[in-house]
Structure 1
Amino acid sequence: MPSTMSLVRLELARELTDRAEVESHAYDLHLPLSDAGRIDVSDWRRDPARCQVTRIRPGEAATRARILFVNGGTWALDFLNHNSHDGEVGFRLSSDKFLEGEYVSIREDDGRMHLFRITLVRAL
C-alpha cells in the first residue's frame, strides 16, 4: 500500500507549565506515512528532499531543515545541512506511530531528550 505525504505537528509536552510556551515549542514534519502511521523509509529514499522539518521555538525564528535516515535506522533533523546527526535526533522514530495523541522523543541540540505530543496528522 502506498504511503501518504503528511504534515505532522509535534508540540513540547510535560516539561513546561505555561501552555502558550509549550505550543510555541514545536516541530512541523513533512513525512511519508503508511496507513499504520509509520514513516515509509522506501518512499523517503525515492525523494528525501521533500521530507522537511520546521522547528519553532519561543524567541527564535522558525528554522527549516531536512530529515535524514542515518546509521541504519536513526532519523535525524539536519539543521546544520552537513548530512550528520550531531544536532537533533529522534528516539525510536522508525518504530513510532505518528498518530494524534501519541508521543515521540527528540534529542535536541541542547543534548537532552525532550518529549513531544503529536497534535496533528494531516495528508498533504
Structure 2
Amino acid sequence: MLQHITLHLARSKEFPEGSRHHGYEIVAPLDADGLIDPAEWREKRAQCRVRRFWAGEADQHGVLVHRPGGADGATWMIDYDLDRTTDDEAGYRLAKHRFAPGEYVTIRDEDEKLHTFQVVAVRGAQQPEKEHA
C-alpha cells in the first residue's frame, strides 16, 4: 500500500533545532519493515510523488524514480523534471533505510549538498477519487 511519508530537516549546524519548514512529503510503497518496495513501486510509479518544501522558496513537485547505479546497484532519486538530470536529488542508501517515525534519511540536493531528515509521520496515502459516470 502507498504511504504518505513526511520528512523534516534534522538538527544541523545551520539549524540546531532542525526545521519543520524544510522537508519533503513523499508518496511511496513501503513493505512490512518500512523499506521502499521496488516491486510495488514499478506497479504504482505514476502515483509515487514528492513535494519538497523549503522556507523562502516555492514548493517543488517531482516523482520518485529508481535508477541503475550507486553503491547498492540502484539509487532512489527525486526527479523534478523528467527532461533534465541536473535537478535530480539522490537519496543516500534509501533502499536500506526504514521509513518509520523517528528514523533518519539523507538526501543529496541538486547542488550536491547532503541534508539529513527525520521521518516525522508515515500514514496511508489516500487514493485519488474515481470519477463517477
Q: Displacement of 1:46 after TM fit?
A: 1.1
Does residue 9 in structure 1 map to residue 10 in structure 2? no
Alignment correspondent of 1:61: 58
Match of 1:100 in 2: 101
Which of these residues, 24, 38, 41, is aligned with residue 38 of structure 2?
Answer: 41
Let me know the Cα RMSD of the aligned residues.
1.6
> Letter of the aligned partner of 1:68 in structure 2?
V
TM-score, normalising length: structure 2: 0.83
Structure 1 runs, 4 residues or longer, greater than 3 Å off: 83-86
Aligned residues: 119
Preserved CA contact (<8 Å) 1:76 1:85:
no
SS at match of 1:106: strand
Residues 74-85 of structure 1: matches in 2 within 5 Å? 74-82=75-83, 84=85
Aligned equivalent of 1:123: 124
Instruction: Give the counterpart letter for 2:35 in structure 1.
Output: R
Q: Is the 8 A contact 1:8 1:120 kept in 2?
A: yes
Q: Percent identity among equivalent residues?
A: 34
TM-score by length of 1: 0.89
Further displaced range: 71-80 or 88-97: 71-80
Distance 2:22 2:52 in 1: 8
One-letter identity of the residue aligned with 1:46: E
Within 2, Cα distance between the matches of 1:85 and 1:70? Answer: 14
Offset at residue 53 of structure 1 (A): 0.3
Secondary structure of the residue that 1:99 maps to in structure 2?
A: coil
- Residue identity in the other structure for 2:106: S
Separation in 2, partners of 1:42, 1:85: 27
